[in-house]
Structure 1
């Protein structure tokens, strides 16, 4: 009669352990799929004073330049295009928008090749605190090197 009770008790100890092992394994194998940024990515910052929604931002690379621009006004919950231009043969990847110190969820948009530039059709939410400051993290590659350029972005109050 004690046998079923001890098997049940053993299951109560083993089952949570198996769940924890499964979560750890899933995190280990699925994490690269959730955050696919290359480990050898070179991070760049736009020039001091550059602010999307006000002006285009230019970054120099070996042998050329990259310009990132948006519309003159970026409004919350309204579609806009972020445009990546260069005199180099880039391979566009994506644009992620983050708000420093605030979790605004995942805001990733693919860069689409259009003629001689790349476009990321985008839209951003209004922060409940009223903040309008974002950072656009533009990812692309050139010459076998992955790059990420961080550019400040200021939305216009509706």
Structure 2
């Protein structure tokens, strides 16, 4: 009897998984889609634009060049991509640098979001950073990764 109940539960879960894919965002953190800025992108010089399903996403950080322990203005501009909310997750593939994910505020300009943050100092002289733009959409989250390096000056 117990085996029958377990089998029914597993079968029900499999059916729900396949029939209701829009429930995916309730049980996984996996993004709906992922894009990455090309290597030619240099956020120290200017904003970078990446093509995503349905449009594009652009990230700008200022002041330039990007410095550690300095207040940074963050701006994300989108076109063709609807978003109920935008966050930018700053992390490093080199080492854990703590949680740094500001939620950006929509401006009066359609598709424009702004916020502020700063980057922590590290024991490494040169640090690689990933600024991952997370766009909340009706079906889940889309993600765009932008990479840049910083150099500790003190």
TM-score normalized with structure 2 length: 0.68
Tell me which stretches of 4 or more aligned residues in structure 1 moved more than 4 Å.
none
Q: 2:129 aligns with which of 112, 127, 134?
A: 134
State the alpha-carbon separation in 2 of the partners of residues 54 and 105 from structure 1: 26
Contact map agreement 1:68 1:85 (CA 8 A) in 2: yes
Matched residues in 2 for 1:57 and 1:91: separation? 22
CA positional deviation for 1:145: 4.8
**Rg larger for:** 1
Alpha-carbon RMSD: 2.3
- The equivalent residue for 1:98 is 91
Bigger Cα displacement from structure 2, 43-52 vs 121-130: 43-52
Structure 1 residue 51 and structure 2 residue 33: aligned? Answer: no
Q: Is the 8 A contact 1:133 1:154 kept in 2?
A: yes
Judge which range, 144-153 or 119-128, deviates more: 144-153
Match of 1:80 among 72, 77, 82: 72
Count of residues paired in the alignment: 123
SS in structure 2 opposite 1:108? Answer: coil
1:111 match: secondary structure: strand
TM-score when scaled to structure 1? 0.67
- Aligned equivalent of 2:118: 123
**Structure 1 CA distance, aligned partners of 2:107 and 2:28?**
23
